[in-house]
Amino acid sequence: MTSSGEAKVVCVSGANGYIASWIIKFLLLRGYTVKGTVRDPNDHKKVEHLYKLEGAKERLQLIKADLLQEGSFDSAVEGCEGVFHTASPCVDNSKLKDPQSEVIDPAVNGTLNVLKSCAKSSSVRRVILTSSTAAVHFNRRIKTSETIVDETWFSDPDFCRETKLWYNLSKSLAEKAAWKFAEENNIDLITIHPTTAIGPLLQPTINESGETFPNYHRGWVNVKDIANAHIQAFEISSANGRYCVVESVEHYSEIIKILRESFPTLQLPERCADDKPPKPKHQFSKERAKSLGIEFIPLNVCLKETVESLKEKKFLNF
Ligand code: NAP
């Protein structure tokens, strides 16, 4: 592993999360000193895995910060060269009761709070914001099997509101607010737009599964590629703008097929949720992600790693 981060101090918000945990693991391996923010540093269950990372004992400090409290991130970002802002509610649209308070306020006001702390600091040189493909391609543009979505695409907030895509709306509004604030305050901002993260878990958590699989295509990418894209975007001085991070787009039926081949005894949904023809499969451009040096772990390997990780953590038993 390189030691590109030696003597450098960076901040990662939402340190205990799935993606942030991998960013921190890689930062520590590269020699960085990391100030991670969490809502409750004393919540042993949520932070224990971070203290077990190589280098954590010497170079990881966890600091309390909440997205909804202005000034909450001041002390965490002070003294840091880089800030990786990953904290944001990552939730299923159908489970939200009050989207404004549950996702939109923490995403938008939280991002602005972090950026305000960065603007006040004398040390921050670049901010990497974890956005999402949710802020990229949810609009009225027609997608065909020929379409390659790239970084010039933006989700349409009105479309997201009308279709009740509240998480997508939160990511879209947060990104928009971030670019405006960064421009007005001369902050060097880069936004990373991963699709659905899969791959090994460092933290103890699990997703739900059902009896049927959904009838649509989805983008997939390994969490390790997402983490590396964040760090490369910080380290490569010429990096700029937005970066989509998507390995491939596949229908759930294809995911089930790959899983069945690799794990014949794993219990998987047998039926598709409906028998309508799915929308055409579009793709995402990999060009800009590749310019960060991301080579993309293939989907079948990502899936294998995910299942093995869930089995090891005893979430799956087969
Ligand atoms: P995660 O594991 O649920 O992590 C989310 C983090 O945000 C947690 O640390 C959480 O803290 C923190 N957070 C939420 N509300 C907060 C608040 N009010 N104040 C302080 N912290 C708060 O999700 P993840 O998958 O790693 O997602 C991280 C980022 O990646 C998010 O910005 C998400 O939108 C983006 N993203 C995720 C995916 C994906 O497939 N997972 C894809 C694209 C983009 P608590 O543990 O205390 O709740």
Quote the CA–CA distance of 225 and 303 in Å, as a whole number. 14
CB 198 within 8 Å of CB 304: no
- What pLDDT was estimated at residue 161? 97
Catalytic residue among 8, 25, 35, 171: 171
Quote the CA–CA distance of 42 and 62 in Å, as a whole number. 9
| Residue 317 CB partners (closer than 8 Å, separation 6+) | 311
Going by C-alpha positions, the residue among 123, 136, 40, 37 that lies closest to residue 87 is: 37
Quote the CA–CA distance of 93 and 205 in Å, as a whole number. 19
Q: Is 171 designated active site?
A: yes
Ligand 1, CB cutoff 6 Å, lining residues: 14, 16-20, 39, 46, 66-68, 86-90, 106, 130, 132, 171, 194, 196-197
Mean pLDDT by runs of 10 across the 318 residues of the chain is 78 98 98 98 97 98 97 98 97 93 98 98 98 98 96 98 97 98 98 97 69 90 98 98 98 95 92 91 97 98 95 89
Distance between Cα 225 and ligand 1 center (Å): 17
Distance between Cα 246 and ligand 1 center (Å): 18
Distance between Cα 83 and ligand 1 center (Å): 15
Closest ligand 1 atom number to CA of residue 16: 9
Quote the CA–CA distance of 37 and 66 in Å, as a whole number. 8
Listed by start position, the domains of the chain span: 9-201+221-247+282-296
Distance between Cα 64 and ligand 1 center (Å): 15
Closest ligand 1 atom number to CA of residue 203: 2
What 3-state DSSP class applies to 115? helix
Q: How many CB atoms neighbour CB 74 within 10 A?
A: 15
Q: What value, to the nearest 5°, has the Cα angle with vertex 227 and ends 190 and 26? A: 120
- What pLDDT was estimated at residue 128? 99
Distance between Cα 13 and ligand 1 center (Å): 9
Quote the CA–CA distance of 140 and 158 in Å, as a whole number. 10
Per-position DSSP letters for 238-294, written without gaps between them: T--EEEEE-SEEEEHHHHHHHHHHH-TTS----EES--SPPPP--EE--HHHHHTT-
The CA-atom distances, in angstroms, between 264 and each of 160, 261, 307, 310, 318 are 39, 6, 12, 16, 10
Mutate to test the pocket of ligand 1, among 90, 207, 230, 246 (most ligand atoms within 8 A of CB): 90
- What pLDDT was estimated at residue 1? 47
Residue whose CA lies nearest to ligand 1 atom number 28:
86
| Residue 284 CB partners (closer than 8 Å, separation 6+) | 133, 148, 149, 150, 195, 219, 244, 246, 249
Quote the CA–CA distance of 273 and 284 in Å, as a whole number. 25
Report CA 138 to chain centroid distance, whole Å. Answer: 17
Cross-strand partners of 60? 34
Architecture of domain 9-201+221-247+282-296: 3-Layer(aba) Sandwich (3.40)
CB 85 within 8 Å of CB 124: no
